[in-house]
Structure 1
Amino acid sequence: MRRLVTALALLLAVLLLGPGPITAVPAHADGGTPPYAPIDRPGPRLTVPARTLDASLDCHGNPRTGPRPILLNPATSVTPEENYSWNWAPLFAKAGRYYCYVTMPHHTFGDIQVAGQYLVHAIRTMYRTTGRRIAILGHSQGGMSPRWALRFWPDTRAKVAELVGMAPSNHGTRSIPGCLVGLTTCVPAVWQQQAGSSFMNALNSRAETFAGIDYTNVYTMLDEVVTPPPSSGLTTGRGRIANIRVQDVCPLDPWEHVTTGTVSPATYAVVMDALDHAGPARLSRIDRSLCGRLHMPGIDPLDVASFTPVLTALPSLVSTVVPLVTFSGAPLLRREPALRCYVYAAGC
């Protein structure tokens, strides 16, 4: 297992050299940037068919017992099974925690505005099923995209107690050089996660966090995908926020972007501190005894079959950083998708 993830990390490091482009925010009629929707305006009607949304949610355990229910939201290029079934899910099952996967179209390569509808539905459904506010755990895009639902569908905020992001792309990245507007084609989610994209400007408009929700963002200075790594953090709004570097927990933690959300024992320690206590994670309280481990608990290096999802994820994972190529069925576009009308102050 160690050889597999190390080889994957090296491959990604080779592919991800060079600065990424900055996509301009579309100009408003007066030549300035567009005003964005008020933070408390009711969200739009969901346009993804209800049957499709229902089929996207896969839940396990007893919804009425155990620790706080948790929604597992996948990273770009992978399904939730590929991201979580061999590491986090067994831990939550053992703890008696009710958890759900949400599966996005096109291996999470599609328009994140559409993914936001899947998340709105998942949040509402889990809250209705459990009768409790939920936690959301997400890796990379999965730690960022729930904020789209919280930003533009205010009713979801009272249903979410905690959002934990593992190397989340909260402000995009400068490390995918191949997406050049008008010159190359890339899948929607890659365009949208460029630093300075219209999507990122809308996502972080007015407030990054909201009162009553705890936000924990754990990131590594070895991240070669989300750069600069501290951009994973959040600063504005009324939510309670903890932005924690892996190196402040375990200085010698060797894991990069992909493995920070799937293998790192330091990330595990931060996540569990957040989930097991009121409020976001607290650096002074985190269990550093895990720093002597090679991987997080829940992974069995001898269970070769459990790593099948890792192998199936590799082609799509590598294609994330390659323009003009997709194995997911997601459309290849020459620029990022236009923002939906509900994003703007003028509305629809």
Structure 2
Amino acid sequence: MFLRKKENINCHENQHPDPPTPLFPGVSQQDAPYSLAEDILRAALYIPAGFAFGADGKTAVLLVPGTGTYGGEAYEHNFGKLLAASAFGDPLWLNIPGRMCDASPRNAEFVAYAIHYITARSAGPSPASLAVVGWSQGNLAVQWALKYWPSTRARVSNFIALSADFAGTLQAWGLCPVKNTPGTPAVWNQTRNASFIATLRADGGDSAYVPTTSVYSATDEVVQPQSGARASALLRDERNVGVTNCELQVAARLKPAGMVYSHEAVMANPLAWALAEDAIRNGGPGQLDRIQDLSAVCMHTKAAGLNMLDMALTQSLAASALKSILLYLPKRGQEEVLPSYTQLNKELESIHRS
């Protein structure tokens, strides 16, 4: 079971042993420096009691939550439950202090460290790898980690992005409309004209670094635009690593799986789950033409293995996440200055291109 009565699945003060090889202050000179202490980074990683570190033949799957949530509460009634019951995926997740409301570059540090920590402790081939699932801002944290900690790329077999806002969202201006309005740091980072978004997308950051499956809904109430060529979740593939961009209303046109799906409900969508399963089993982006009986999959409104309560509780994340965003302190009157390593990276990219 994903939820165990004796476990606090939202704990962010977890105790884990040292990895077999040191990971801090870094594993590669090409990686950005951490601004947070190693014990803080490691404590946010929640490893369920039954997690096998690859010894059972299953793929480790790191779940990264969205703004206003911990990994436990975000995935308990959707991907976490489905993976725990599967024969191919072994889930663990991040409970980042502040529920992902702090500045996005700091949230990304937890992702980079977690990727290295789990693969360092995993059994199997060397180097070990894992799959990463992100929801909402969690996808930005993953893409930022892959960009500025390039050593993580060899450790990630595939990346499944749910309701991503890689190009930011117009809706963020509802909470951070103009400069000097008190706003939550991570929301400032997700405005359509944020420096964080522009920097993430620069120098090839609008393309995938690892095999990526991006699933999103045109009726997303949080991320807009989210359809067609301007969809925020859309990723390019200039590195030829393999990318699948799946707009639910296009892929499952006029079928139940392609009807109205909110920002949160994508995590319970049957086609999103089928693509994720295909990606994890095959070690690359999910492919629609490999899904057995695709038409039958799209005739459902929720993934097999979930019930109506799971769907309702997944949908309820919207209210609890908004509450966390509004209550988060300290608020900022503008977007925080980005870490200095982003400028250094830009200079190195310029030298490399010349």
Instruction: Pick the TM interval, shorter chain.
Output: 0.7 to 0.9
Q: Which residue of 2 aligns with 1:88?
A: 79
**Of the two structures, which has the highest relative contact order with CA contacts closer than 8 Å and spacing of 6 or more?**
1
Q: 2:42 matched to 1:54?
A: yes
Q: Which residue of 2 aligns with 1:326?
A: 326
How far 1:185 sits from its partner (Å)?
A: 1.5
Q: Which residue of 1 aligns with 2:19?
A: none
Contact 2:102 2:186 in 1 (8 A): yes
SS at match of 2:202: coil
Q: Which residue of 2 aligns with 1:231?
A: 232
Q: 2:104 matched to 1:100?
A: no
Give the counterpart of 1:284 among 286, 289, 310: 289
Q: TM-score, with normalisation over the residues of structure 2?
A: 0.77
Q: 2:194 matched to 1:161?
A: no
Q: Which residue of 1 aligns with 2:263?
A: 258
Letter in 2 for 1:49: A
Q: TM-score, with normalisation over the residues of structure 1?
A: 0.79
How far 1:292 sits from its partner (Å)?
A: 2.0
Residues 240/330 of structure 1: CA separation in 2 closer, same or farther (3 Å cut): farther
Q: 2:243 matched to 1:247?
A: no
Contact 2:170 2:223 in 1 (8 A): yes
SS at match of 1:116: helix
Deviating more after overlay: 214-223 vs 254-263 = 254-263
- Mapping 1:1-348, distance limit 5 Å: 42-60=30-48, 61-63=51-53, 64-96=55-87, 97-131=89-123, 132-178=128-174, 179-208=176-205, 209=207, 213-229=210-226, 230-238=231-239, 239-251=241-253, 252=255, 253-286=258-291, 287-301=294-308, 313=317, 315-319=319-323, 326-327=326-327, 329-345=328-344
SS at match of 1:128: helix
How far 1:302 sits from its partner (Å)?
A: 5.9
Q: For residues 19-60 of structure 1, what are the alpha-carbon distances to aligned partners after superposition, in whole Å with 9 as ceiling and x for unaligned? A: xxxxxxxxxxxxxxxxxxxxx971233221222222111123
Letter in 1 for 2:288: L
Residues 111/285 of structure 1: CA separation in 2 closer, same or farther (3 Å cut): same
SS at match of 2:322: helix
In 2, Cα distance between equivalents of 1:112 and 1:146: 10
How far 1:148 sits from its partner (Å)?
A: 0.6
Contact 1:44 1:153 in 2 (8 A): yes
How far 1:297 sits from its partner (Å)?
A: 2.2
Contact 1:73 1:102 in 2 (8 A): yes
Deviating more after overlay: 265-274 vs 165-174 = 265-274
Give unmatched runs, 5+ long, in structure 2: 1-27, 348-354
Letter in 1 for 2:259: P
How far 1:183 sits from its partner (Å)?
A: 4.0
Give unmatched runs, 5+ long, in structure 1: 1-39
SS at match of 1:108: coil
How far 1:137 sits from its partner (Å)?
A: 0.5
Q: For residues 49-105 of structure 1, what are the alpha-carbon distances to aligned partners after superposition, in whole Å with 9 as ceiling and x for unaligned? A: 222222111123211223321100001111111211122222212225322111112
Deviating more after overlay: 82-91 vs 176-185 = 176-185
Q: How many pairs are equivalent?
A: 300
Contact 2:157 2:283 in 1 (8 A): no
Letter in 1 for 2:169: T
Letter in 1 for 2:145: A
SS at match of 1:231: coil
Letter in 2 for 1:69: A
How far 1:246 sits from its partner (Å)?
A: 0.7
Contact 1:172 1:193 in 2 (8 A): yes
Contact 1:326 1:332 in 2 (8 A): no
Contact 1:66 1:98 in 2 (8 A): no
In 2, Cα distance between equivalents of 1:121 and 1:129: 12
4+ residue stretches of structure 1 with deviation over 6 A? Answer: 306-310
In 1, Cα distance between equivalents of 2:217 and 2:115: 28
In 2, Cα distance between equivalents of 1:290 and 1:225: 26
Percent identity for Structure 1 against Structure 2: 25
In 1, Cα distance between equivalents of 2:343 and 2:60: 33
